[in-house]
Amino acid sequence: MRADAVRNRARLPEAAARLVAEDEDRVEHITMDAVAQAASVGKGTVFRHFGDRSRLLMALLDHVEQVYQASFLTGPPSLGPGAPALERLEAFGVATIRYLLANRQLVLAAAPPAERRLSAPPIGARRAHIVSLLREADAEGDVELLAESLLAYLDITLLNHLVHLRGIPQERVEAGWQNLLKAVRSS
């Protein structure tokens, strides 16, 4: 790949991320033209790289998801390795709620159809992380089903409904995660 093509490949997700960061509600208005202009490349470059808007949104979501996943896989305690499992699980839930709500328009716009949503790779990574932490904490009962219950609380559709449609403060939703973990701790 030519040097300018490599450089453009890196600029495109960064440019799209900047557009979203400027105004979260802008996700539904992100166009191939807007990304091309923000990245200082031709519109054809954007189409050659992504193909269509749907793939552009998926690439952008992948970009922000990688940064988020690195925070809990390799970041500092209490979210990353080095802290007790239940402390990490608590930090993970709060961080996930914050991440999803901060990126809600993008996550909702790029979400796969309902029948495939729970098998999407980011959900699988969250599921595996929760299961791992529950096992490390010696949680009792069916750890996989417990993980699914905890994962359901971290669903963007539910979080969007609670915070943006019902008006429940995000802090209260985060406290709800901590309350769920009290049940895990007492088992």
Burial profile 16-46: b = 16 or more Cβ within 10 angstroms, e = fewer: bbebbeeeeeebeebebebbbebbebeeebb
pTM: 0.83
Predicted confidence (pLDDT) per residue in 37-88, tens digit: 999 898 998 888 888 887 888 888 888 899 899 999 999 999 999 999 999 9
DSSP state of 167: -
Which tokens hold the place of 47? 């189409």
Q: Where are the domains of the chain?
A: 76-186
Tally the residues of the chain: 187
Query: Residue 25: is its pLDDT beyond 70?
Result: no
Predicted confidence (pLDDT) per residue in 95-126, tens digit: 999 999 988 988 888 887 888 888 889 999 99
